Chain A
Amino acid sequence: MPETAPPPPVPHLLPTLPNALIMTGRSLRLSRRNVDALITALALPVLLLLIFVYFFGGAINTGTDTRYVTYVVPGVLLLCAGFGSSSTAVAVTEDLKGGIVDRFRSLDVGGIAILAGHVLASVARNLLATALVLALAFAIGFRPRATPSAWLAAIALLVAFILALSWLSAAVGLLAKSPEAANGYTFFVSFLPYPSSAFVPTDSMPAWLTAFSDHQPVTPVIDSLRGLLLNQPVGTTPWVALAWCAGILVGAVGSAGVLFRRRVG
């Protein structure tokens, strides 16, 4: 490169997409080889399903004639999404521990591309876990009555939720000083499905908790999933759920961009 050459007019966002895909390939390879974490990511959702259906299910009255396994599957799917997405924070913190982020940056790979790799790998891991949970759920009596388009809508919503939570988790990873801390921070996100309609109807909770449950992001997502899968009228709930996901996504990507520059700049 002679130094008189004019700067190549490369728009800033152009290399982000191919770089993000290369980074996703990397994150997927890393996930595949982190066998312990992968087994946990797949076994935990399965265990949770079995626990809710067989340990608690018999005692829970959902107030409908739906079998508990059919009632609880959307909740278990979201619980798993929460657990699964939190590993994004750990992956991001692991990257920051070593020198690889500097190497990526010296190859002109932007922070968003690096984080997107972890996020997309997280989505892939979560979808695998979701498929596993659904397969098992069918085997133990889960009987949804969804039309194909409702299935598509439910899966799209679930992906949007996983995407939003994974980006949130990535942002948290940039805040955490160590992978252990990252793990701790994301733990509370995993608890959000409990005070919601995931496992029990919210009107069975104390009034103050119902108020919280009805207005937190997980409840509309669960209600939409359940409505879509059980072929019940959902009204505008899926839009509320999508709006929550979009809001979290925009906030998380924005703050991740800022935090990345602050952390490594």
Chain B
Amino acid sequence: MPEAAEATDRAAVTEAAIEATGLTKSYGGTDGTRSPIPVLRGIDLRVPPGTVFALLGPNGAGKTTAVRILATLTEPDAGTARVAGYDIRARRRDVRRAISLTGQFAAVDETQTGAENLRMMARLAGLGRAAARARADELLARFGLSEAADRLVRTYSGGMRRRVDLAAGLVGEPAVIFLDEPTTGLDPRGRRELWDVVGDLAARGTTVFLTTQYLEEADQLADRIAVLHGGVIVAEGTAADLKARMAGHHLDITLTTSDAYLRVRTRIPHATHHDPRTRTLGLPTDGTARHVRALLDELDPTGTDIAHFALRTASLDEVFLTLTASPAPTSDASPPPSPKEPTHA
């Protein structure tokens, strides 16, 4: 399989499929009436070939801007990046030939059939008529769309649309695939189908760079995850790394009375969650009996305030919320707070 051979070559040269240093981008401000709004404040990324990388962040974190810069659709204000070995500024055309981008907005025509869309894209990618037809048929089959090939895309379900969209991005056999929020707006079934497709791409040795707001998705699909918040990468690593950066476990305690709740609440300003209604507080722990016992004794020396406790593994959601709960760092402020020290609720 040519893709596999290519992937091996790539791995052999150990060059990253995507490597970015100090990317910054601001929007607005060109008319002099308002100051530019920084979207990216200097991000570094390194994605080894043949891996799946997730850029995770809330809305407005700058994920789409990062993808558009790497896909050469937007010029960064500063910083450098190489994609598939080519500089995004100097070798823009080579980058475009080596990548595909599937964005948040459908990039296929509603009033063409799936087959027509794919044939058109294949022709634009430089294939001849017959080759384009063969490529379209192959992709339709691979994405489970052969049955629907001759129906107009506007009759497709959400999941089918996203798949034909993704297929349209693959006509040129790209080495690096960018997926900007590929499952946003899909129902669970559509999302599952798309995950399968991404898994399949990764298995073929394609480098996949995806953005998502869903931790579950990043956890499921990605070899490595970077959390983007306020234009900077606040954490990077495998899903396991990210979970381990938090204490790893959570102790949830339920207080006996509202007074007890208030008393204990003031003793633990670093609670990761607090809910006066149910009188519960959550706090990080390493999960050892020693630490849990010490915590309980410290918080409730008289042994009368805490009614119940529960110990559980921190979810990736909690990691995410902790990392992105801080106000976005301002451009002249100190570096982003270390994710190891969640100092606030």
A9 CB to nearest chain B CB (Å): 11
The digit string for A92-107, where 1 denotes a CB below 8 A from any CB of B, is: 0000011110111111
Contact pattern, B 169-184, Cβ under 8 Å of A = 1, otherwise 0: 1001001000000000
Select one of A1, A26, A33, A98 contacting B98, CB under 8 A.
Answer: A1
Decide if B105 touches A99 in the complex (CB within 8 Å).
Answer: yes
Q: Does any Cβ of A come within 8 Å of B106's Cβ?
A: yes
> Does B15 have its Cβ within 8 Å of any Cβ on chain A?
yes
Flag if B111 contacts A33 (CB, 8 Å): yes
User: Do A33 and B106 touch across chains, with their CB atoms under 8 A apart?
Assistant: no
Alpha-carbon distance A97/B109, docked complex (angstroms): 12
9-residue interface stretch from B116-124, B143-151, B233-241, B248-256: B116-124
Task: Name A98's closest neighbour in chain B (CB-CB).
Answer: B105
Interface residue? A29 (CB, 8 A): yes
The digit string for B128-155, where 1 denotes a CB below 8 A from any CB of A, is: 0000000000000000000000001000
Check A25/B84 contact, CB under 8 A, given A99-B103, A102-B107, A103-B169: no
Q: Is A131 an interface residue (CB 8 A)?
A: no
Q: Contact flags (1/0) for B297-312 with A, using CB distance below 8 Å? A: 0000000000000000
- Whether a CB of chain A sits under 8 angstroms from the CB of B108 is yes
Interchain CA distance A149-B71 in the complex, whole Å: 52
Cβ-neighbour of B124 out of A1, A10, A19, A98 (below 8 A): A19
| Nearest CB on A from B19, distance (A) | 12
Residues of A within 8 A of B168 (CB): 103
CB 8 Å contact bits of B262-305 with A (1 = contact, 0 = none): 00000000000000000000000000000000000000000000
Interface-facing stretch out of B89-97, B196-204, B220-228: B89-97
State how many angstroms separate the Cβ of A15 from the closest Cβ of chain B. 8
Closest partner residue, chain A, to B116 (CB atom):
A29
Write out, one digit per residue, whether chain B residues 65-104 have a CB within 8 A of any chain A CB (1) or not (0).
0001001111100000000111000010110111111011
- Is the beta-carbon distance between A29 and B112 smaller than 8 angstroms? yes
When each residue 1-37 of chain A gets 1 if its CB lies under 8 Å from chain B and 0 otherwise, what string results? 1110001001000000001001001100110011000
Instruction: Indicate whether A203 reaches chain B with its CB closer than 8 angstroms.
Output: no
Given the interface pairs A1-B97, A29-B112, A30-B111, the reply to whether A109 lies near B124 with Cβ below 8 Å is: yes
Please determine whether B124 and A104 come into contact, CB atoms closer than 8 angstroms.
Answer: yes
Q: Quick check: A107 and B86 within 8 Å, CB to CB? A: no
CA of A7 to CA of B95 in the docked complex: distance in angstroms? 11
Residue ID in chain A nearest B180 by CB atoms: A99
Is A180 an interface position by the 8 A CB rule? Answer: no
Tier of interface size on chain A: 20 to 34
Q: Could you say which residues of chain B place their CB within 8 Å of the CB of A26? A: 109, 112, 120
CA distance A106 to B108 in the complex (A): 13
**A1 and B109 within 8 A (CB):** no
Smallest Cβ distance from A99 to chain B, in angstroms? 4
- Give the bracket for the number of chain B residues in contact with chain A: 35 or more
Q: Do A30 and B109 touch across chains, with their CB atoms under 8 A apart? A: yes
Query: Given the known A-B contacts A3-B86, A29-B116, are A106 and B91 also in contact in the complex, defined by CB atoms under 8 Å?
Result: no
Quick check: is B13 within 8 A (CB to CB) of the other chain? yes
Query: Contact between A105 and B112 (Cβ–Cβ < 8 Å)?
Result: no
Is B317 at the interface (CB under 8 A from chain A)?
A: no
CA distance A97 to B13 in the complex (A): 41
Q: Which residues of A contact B97 (CB under 8 A)?
A: 1, 108
CA distance A101 to B36 in the complex (A): 26
CA distance A33 to B152 in the complex (A): 10
A102: B residues at CB distance < 8 A: 68, 71, 73, 101, 103, 107
**A101 CB to closest chain B CB, in angstroms?**
8
Question: Once the chains are docked, how many angstroms separate the CA of A114 from the CA of B68?
Answer: 20
Establish whether residues A103 and B120, one from each chain, have CB atoms under 8 Å apart when the complex forms. no
Given the interface pairs A22-B124, A100-B107, A106-B96, the reply to whether A3 lies near B112 with Cβ below 8 Å is no
Residues of B within 8 A of A3 (CB): 13, 15, 84-86
Closest chain A residue to B123 by CB distance? A22
Q: Are A106 and B73 in contact (CB under 8 A)?
A: yes
What are the interface flags for B6-20 relative to A under an 8 Å C-beta threshold, 1 for contact and 0 otherwise? 000100010100000
Please measure, in the bound complex, the distance between the C-alpha atom of A34 and the C-alpha atom of B71, giving whole angstroms: 32
Chain A residues near B75 (CB-CB < 8 A): 265
Nearest chain B CB to A35 CB, angstrom units: 10
Which A residues lie within 8 Å of B116 (CB)?
29
- Enumerate chain A residues within 8 angstroms of B124, measured Cβ to Cβ: 19, 22, 104, 107, 109
Q: Are B99 and A106 closer than 8 Å at their CB atoms?
A: yes
Which A-B residue pairs are the 9 nearest by beta carbons? A3-B85, A99-B105, A103-B107, A99-B107, A33-B111, A99-B103, A107-B124, A100-B107, A98-B105
- Contacts A102-B107, A103-B121 aside, 19 further interface pairs with beta carbons under 8 A come to A1-B97, A3-B13, A7-B91, A7-B93, A22-B124, A26-B112, A26-B120, A29-B116, A98-B105, A99-B103, A100-B106, A100-B108, A102-B71, A105-B73, A106-B100, A106-B101, A106-B169, A107-B121, A265-B74
Interchain residue pairs with CB less than 8 A apart (15): A1-B94, A1-B98, A3-B84, A7-B91, A22-B123, A29-B112, A33-B112, A33-B152, A99-B103, A99-B105, A106-B100, A106-B101, A106-B169, A107-B172, A108-B97
Which of A's residues lie within 8 Å of B, judged by CB?
1-3, 7, 10, 19, 22, 25-26, 29-30, 33-34, 97-100, 102-109, 264-265
